[in-house]
Structure 1
Amino acid sequence: MDALDVARWQFGVTTVYHFLFVPLTIGLSVLVAILQTMWHRTGNERYLKLTKFYGKLFLINFAMGVVTGIVQEFQFGMNWSDYSRFVGDIFGAPLAIEALVAFFLESTFIGLWIFGWDRLPKRAHLASIWAAAIGTNLSAYFILAANSFMQNPVGYRINPDSGRAELTDFPAVLTNKVALITFPHTLAGSFLVAGSLIVAVGLWHVIRNRDSADTGAYRFATKFGSWVVLIASAAVLFTGDIQGKIMTDVQPMKMAAAEGLYTTESPASFSVLTIGSLDGSREVFALKIPYLLSYLGTGDPNGTVHGIDDLQAQYATQYGAGSYTPIIPVTYWSFRFMIAFGLAAGAIALLVLWTQRKGRTPSSKWLLRAGLAMPVLPLLANSFGWIFTEMGRQPWIVFGEMLTRNGVSRSVSLAEVLTSFTAFTLIYATLAVIEVKLLLRYAKAGVPDVSEQPPTDDADDAERPLAFAY
């Protein structure tokens, strides 16, 4: 074990942990805005209750996401300074815009939304949550544009004197074809997480508090969240299909690693389950679907999918001697876990809708347990998706331009990286406990009492003190 190994583990752990909060923040920001819009248009009190209820959960999650996200950027200077020197001119541009524009927009209007219930006109207050939601999604786009450069470098040149990558075409970075499909795919996954949380909380109250005066609000929440999950599931499959074809075009080794395909095949089958040797180099048993991998990779059921061995030989000739193959068992299983957990969440949402058809009230304990598992399933799907995305790119930190081992800080020792890794892991574990306890406490508390309505647009509240609505 050396500093490179620990630095990679630290970045992997902090990234996956941070991304537990990101999709929920992205999805809930929009869904809470939709609920408030429904209240604004109809005046129905139950939509106001749900807005404040899920808005509170959104704010808890947003706060944790901000705290954990800051650490990500610090690591570029701490553990990955050689990478930062090489690509900072390009990578820093979208991150700077994200911080100066998107995050500023997001955080400013979230503040207005929090404190504006009793002071802002209803339309202005509604606009503030939509502005915050737009800022949240813009923030995601700029970050994904930066990551997409690592997957498919565009809009740059290598300065022969400094050896650094320099930005030549910023619009090309923002319109990178990997970013253009990764963004909607990530948004769909985020709505899958947010919709699942709405279903889980609503279903718990429907089954456990059947005689509550707010049962109607919870029943609506479970239906609303279930439809969000089903639509998001379809969007994930659609965008994932496009993403797979782009991935095969720009990173054929990643697609080969996703299947554990060592020899070039035309047509190529997709294995639902494979049992192989421990190093992933030999297949013992496989359950395969003919033609599917060719379609996923090329759009043609008879298309050619290049194998790992052929690509390794090609890259060794192109880039020099060395291994250009990622860890096959990791890429193979993370790809399948991503798909399986996402589909499982969609199946539970369909079951929840079925049990509430024709005004029925669900009561099954098994359904409740499945519903409570719903938020975890898409979170796992998102996490395995990012593990596959980043591990499948290895050994490159910038595909075709910089190897991961060349991006680590040379002046940081193993002891220093171990110290920061241990400290961050312990802090994150503590934050996880706090996050879960806060979410469970306020989720169990139920929707708030909104009998005292906010003032209308023409109310004179100039002397009203600034107050936190939650």
Structure 2
Amino acid sequence: MDVLELARWQFGITTVVHFFFVPFTISMAFLVAIMQTIWMRATPPRSTRWLRLTRFFGKLLLINLAVGVVTGLVQEFQFGMNWSDFSRFVGDVFGAPLAMEALLAFYLESVFVGVWIFGWGRIPPKVHLATIWVTAVGTLLSAYFILAANSFMQNPVGYEIDEATGRAEMTDIWAILTNKVLLITFPHTIFAALMVGGAVVGAVSMWHLVRGARQPELAEPDASSDAGAFRTSLRIGAVAVLIGGVGVAVTGDTQGKVMTEVQPMKMAAAEALYESQQPAPFSLLTIGTLDGREPVYQLEVPQLLSFLATGSFDAEVEGINDLQEQYTEQYGDGEYAPNIPVTYWTFRMMITAGGLAAAVALWLLWSTRRGRAPTSRWALWAAAALPVLPLAANAFGWIFTEMGRQPWLVFGLLRTGAGVSPGVGAGTVAASLAAFTVLYAGLCWLWVWLLLKHARPGLPDVSAEARWGERGGSDDASGGAGRADDADDADADRPLTFAY
């Protein structure tokens, strides 16, 4: 492989792996914030259940956040290592939202999550609650600014080309932050993230419920028992997955129409629509020729693609071959269709994985109705599969988004081959690709191992902190926190650490 292919593989691998952690962090931060808010408002013994859940899932959030930060550091370094010509061309535009993310959003996350970790029993309870909410809001801001940069690559706005330097220069930051692609991609991404966090909460809770049902001594029905708490969290997780699934479907429909407007080739490739049709059918299955230029066999739903692409069942949708001719005339000779099998199948795998996750979540709600506790082997399989499905859907969605934009780095402005670093050899990129692949594989193993290690023991004992929260209804830090002279309250001063 040449430098371009190696650089693309490296960025693709590191980006997909990093995005395992992003939706987990966004959604889990909000779910933990909601649990802590309910704890602050609930009364004993019910409040104990919510505090235990807050501490338990808060620990999983911190594990994910720590590993996610490490994997994210590599992303921006690659713009200088392997994609320096891209950085030179759009740095003035692309760098602005990334700087906002680092200086504003990431600052909020890192500072306030630290206060949340070490603030248990040390600061007023209401102030402590505010820190996890600020952390959650910070994750949303991070997502927004990063998606603003990516949306510029999909639909460049708010810039002009400097004829003297040949570079894109920003002229309107507001246009970049209100890009039509961004305004629909952001909610779509957040709803997809909600499915991930809900799936993790639901899966862990289901595993503990099955374990408790098989060991009756673990399944006492009182409000503070593990069984009662995990039944509550399971239903919260399942509802979050379903809400996220509905949101993804609604925003995805709008996103498809925007995509058809700004990148019609991506929509045609997603459906393997080779020739323009009016009305256009939706392809359930298409098998094409080896060169990807013509279909051999198609299984279709009449008129559905016209509606998905435009909102009208009778509208015309442009096909791959017609768009190739238009782009050749507009941009010059070249291949302007992306890899059709990749875009076609990742689009369908994204939808299938997301739909299966919603179906499993619905089954979890049904299986735990009216106080039931599942005991079957199917429940364990469902618990194992549930977190994987929305993670896979997110990964397939990003592969489709980025591969469907090819051969452009910035659509209509900069081709992918023109963005690679000119002074970097194939051997250098191959070495870094191998190193990052091994490193990321190790980090993924560590991530899963830590999550499993800290999920297995169950809910922590938080009796001291429960008293802190109850007494801390006044915002008196000294009155709300346990002191060292009270032996029973010693744990209230301990931060939320992995050793807790």
TM-score (norm 2): 0.92
Q: Is residue 405 from structure 1 mapped to residue 408 from structure 2 by the alignment?
A: no
Moved more, 357-366 or 414-423: 357-366
Question: Aligned partners of 2:155, 2:92: CA distance in 1, in Å?
Answer: 16
Amino acid of the residue matched to residue 8 of structure 1? R
Moved more, 455-464 or 147-156: 455-464
Moved more, 282-291 or 110-119: 282-291
Query: Per-residue CA shift, 1:33-91, capped at 9, x if unaligned?
Result: 01111101114111111111111000000011100111000000000000000000000
1:356/1:362 contact within 8 Å kept: yes
1:15-94 counterparts in 2 under 5 A? 15-43=15-43, 44-94=47-97
User: Share of identical aligned residues, percent?
Assistant: 59
- Across the two proteins, how many residue pairs are aligned to each other? 470
1:348/1:370 contact within 8 Å kept: yes
2:288 aligns with 276
Amino acid of the residue matched to residue 28 of structure 1? M
1:162 aligns with 165
Measured at CA, do residues 220 and 279 of structure 1 come closer, stay the same or move farther in structure 2, by a change above 3 Å? farther
By how many angstroms is 1:284 displaced?
Answer: 3.0
1:279/1:328 contact within 8 Å kept: no
User: Secondary structure in 1 aligned to 2:373?
Assistant: coil
Query: 1:97 pairs with 96, 100, 113, which one?
Result: 100
Query: Per-residue CA shift, 1:91-130, capped at 9, x if unaligned?
Result: 0000001000000001100000000011011100000000
Query: 2:385 pairs with 363, 373, 393, which one?
Result: 373
Query: 1:429 pairs with 408, 419, 441, which one?
Result: 441
1:279/1:329 contact within 8 Å kept: no
Question: Aligned partners of 2:106, 2:266: CA distance in 1, in Å?
Answer: 32
2:274/2:294 contact within 8 Å kept: no
Question: Aligned partners of 2:71, 2:16: CA distance in 1, in Å?
Answer: 10
Query: 2:476 pairs with 433, 438, 458, which one?
Result: 458
1:65-464 counterparts in 2 under 5 A? 65-210=68-213, 211=216, 212=218, 213-453=225-465, 455=468, 456=472, 457-460=475-478
Question: Aligned partners of 1:158, 1:218: CA distance in 2, in Å?
Answer: 57
By how many angstroms is 1:364 displaced?
Answer: 1.7
Amino acid of the residue matched to residue 364 of structure 1? S
Amino acid of the residue matched to residue 217 of structure 1? A
2:201/2:237 contact within 8 Å kept: yes
Query: Per-residue CA shift, 1:320-372, capped at 9, x if unaligned?
Result: 11110100000000000000000000000111111112222212211220222
Question: Aligned partners of 1:208, 1:285: CA distance in 2, in Å?
Answer: 48
2:257/2:310 contact within 8 Å kept: yes
User: Secondary structure in 2 aligned to 1:411?
Assistant: coil
Question: Aligned partners of 1:23, 1:92: CA distance in 2, in Å?
Answer: 23
Question: Aligned partners of 1:78, 1:453: CA distance in 2, in Å?
Answer: 48
Question: Aligned partners of 2:427, 2:309: CA distance in 1, in Å?
Answer: 43
Amino acid of the residue matched to residue 110 of structure 1? V
User: Secondary structure in 1 aligned to 2:464?
Assistant: coil
2:222 aligns with none
Amino acid of the residue matched to residue 11 of structure 1? F
2:124/2:476 contact within 8 Å kept: yes
Moved more, 425-434 or 401-410: 425-434
2:2 aligns with 2
2:12 aligns with 12
Unaligned segments of structure 2, at least 5 residues: 219-224, 485-489
2:155/2:411 contact within 8 Å kept: yes
Question: Aligned partners of 2:65, 2:407: CA distance in 1, in Å?
Answer: 33
2:274/2:295 contact within 8 Å kept: no
Unaligned segments of structure 1, at least 5 residues: none
